[in-house]
Chains A and B, each alone.
Chain A
């Protein structure tokens, strides 16, 4: 992450202005003073924990006498990592979340893009009202939304189960077959509007002349959307995809709340739940190992996606 590519757009707005001034020692001192408060806390609250987790992951605690005696900590090398890779419940939690993400993220972002394009089209009415409605779920804290859905899915109180029973269908949203899709629905409900707003803001920033020229050339609305608008909002689509990858990898609130009411959601349903379970039984070294693996995989996926799209971008 420390490597900078020439195409790194983030550094551009400042690089130009910086070159004009002569960097004096006084400026470096001021910069350090301005950065110090954030830097200290950033180091203590983010860098140190990462280092600590990595350090912990190389040790193992042995307890003598059925866990009641004194414990000894020994160096384990990659032992915890080997254990994690052979931990079938931990591995299947990854597979489960990966399966969910590969379906849910494209569906959600596709919906978000469609809604943003429709909001941006000239045929749309009540734009402001719709925009506010779509953004509403973002105002509901994830856990509160999960609590709400846990009732909406519960067979005894769910209005949806009741409505489906009216037409002769017996559906249990928390059954083994449906519970993953139900969680996907909770995520789609919560985040489509947020992503839609990011894409919509990018659409609004497209210069009017660009789309008007395409229309003048006889392009239909869909062709303008496909050839002009969607390429123009590519950075927003990349950003929302990266946010969604990270968000999916951290899946916790929804299954954590559902696990209280649905036996189909096991205590190791997602990687974070599995990690938390290890911490609950005081196996901190293993919990640290699990969180390092999760962080590494997430970083590789999101950063890999960024690099992949950037490389494609330079050749396109």
Chain B
């Protein structure tokens, strides 16, 4: 493998004919490493897909990595019928927490980041550093005491218990400040002020449209982190009807011994990742721009 990139680089600098074979070997080497890791990534997901099509009996007796007796539709029907159709409720809850939480969170982050980038005021750096410091603290530090606090004001086991903590995103404020600072010109703001526009109007009509690519990224990050959250809803919620799909499925996994069939859990897991995978593939460029903004600083 050590021969891979040298030859590739030489090839790029204008390859003499005699080097072409080693360049070809180099390319093959690069491809082999990359393909190997792609296999490592794909095999578990492939297993999930294949297994979602099998009924319980074939799960233990057939090759896990290949199809036999295609029962996907039966499995899907069973997933949605288990426990009086609670799976649909879980999906709906997840969507509610994620879409609502991410939308509010993005708006708050945009406002805060814009203020931190564009208004000079005393204590600005301190404020920003406190917010940034919160990124370095593990979630459990907030989740557990929040549970204790919420139980005193009777918020535990309500939608709010999961929703309220989800709308605060220090990382979103960070991204939004960086982006506003780099992309919204001061001259434009000044010009709008001269035209008599108020500060709120300038933010909504001038700054927000310029910041929109960063806002999409913040929305996506927050959407996924809320959809993936497990510890917080696990602590906060008791009733099955309020759970997001992550907690619900983990309970099913635990309930295998109490008669929840394996294939129900596996098919449920498979169904719950489809919306996210689709969103990822469609919106990939926003991920990359967000990650790039985070990493250059």
Interface residues of A (CB under 8 A from B): 1-4, 9-11, 13-14, 17-21, 23, 27-28, 30-35, 37-39, 41-42, 44-50, 52-53, 56, 111, 114-115, 117-119, 121-125, 130, 132-145, 147-152, 156-159, 162, 189, 192-193, 197-199, 201-202, 204-205, 215-216, 219-222, 224-225, 233, 235-236, 239-240, 242, 246, 249-250, 252-253, 256-257, 260-261, 272, 275-276, 279, 284, 287-288, 291-292, 294-295, 298-299, 302-303
| Residue B74 is within 8 A (CB to CB) of chain A in the complex | no
Q: Is the CB of A130 within 8 A of B38?
A: yes
A148 and B137 contact, CB distance less than 8 A: no
Contact A2 B130 (CB under 8 A): yes
Structural contact, A150 and B41, CB atoms closer than 8 A = no
20 A-B residue contacts at CB 8 Å? A14-B116, A27-B120, A30-B119, A31-B124, A34-B111, A37-B111, A37-B112, A38-B109, A42-B131, A48-B149, A49-B146, A122-B8, A123-B11, A141-B276, A148-B266, A220-B6, A256-B230, A275-B140, A291-B141, A294-B138
Is B70 part of the contact surface with A, judged by Cβ < 8 Å? no
The reply to whether B5 and A222 form a contact with Cβ atoms under 8 Å apart is: yes
Question: Are the C-beta atoms of B144 and A123 separated by less than 8 Å?
Answer: no
Flag whether B122 is at the interface (Cβ < 8 A). yes
By a CB distance below 8 angstroms, the chain B residues around A302 are 136
With known contacts A34-B114, A159-B65, A42–B41 Cβ distance under 8 A: no
- Does B23 contact A123, Cβ atoms closer than 8 Å? yes
CB-CB under 8 A from A275, the residues of chain B are 140, 144
Q: A130-B38, A272-B138 are in contact. List 7 more A-B contacts (CB 8 A).
A: A13-B178, A35-B112, A147-B253, A157-B60, A253-B231, A279-B147, A295-B138
State A37–B119 Cα separation when bound (angstroms): 16
Query: Chain B, interface size: which category?
Result: 35 or more
Closest residue on chain A to residue B45 by CB atoms: A136
Closest to B141 in A: A295
In the complex with contacts A34-B203, A239-B295, A246-B136, A132-B148 CB distance below 8 A: no
B122 touches A215 (CB 8 A): no
How many pairs of A and B residues are in contact by the CB < 8 Å rule? 346
Interface residue from B5, B141, B230, B294 paired with A294 (Cβ < 8 Å): B141
Main secondary structure on A side of the interface with B: helix
Q: Which residue of the partner chain, among A136, A220, A239, A288, contacts B144 with CB atoms under 8 Å?
A: A288
The residue in A143, A149, A219 that gathers the most chain B C-beta atoms within 10 A of its C-beta is A143
A144 touches B249 (CB 8 A): yes
B138 shortest CB reach to chain A, Å: 4
B148 touches A41 (CB 8 A): no
A153 to chain B, nearest CB (A): 11
Taking CB atoms, residues of chain B closer than 8 Å to A192 are: 37
Query: With A and B bound together, what is the CA distance between A298 and B29 in angstroms?
Result: 39
Return the CB mask of B105-117 against A: 1 if under 8 Å, else 0: 0001101101111
Cα–Cα, bound, A33→B44 (Å) = 49
A125-B137 in contact (CB<8A): no
**A225 CB contact (under 8 Å) in B5, B111, B142, B269:** B5
Contacts A142-B230, A279-B144, A291-B144; A260 near B253 (Cβ below 8 A): yes
- Contact of A50 with B228 in the complex, beta carbons under 8 Å: no
Within 8 A of A (CB), among B187-237: 199, 203, 224, 227-228, 230-231, 235
In the complex, the 6 A-B pairs of residues with the closest C-beta atoms, listed nearest first: A221-B5, A159-B64, A1-B133, A123-B8, A34-B115, A221-B9
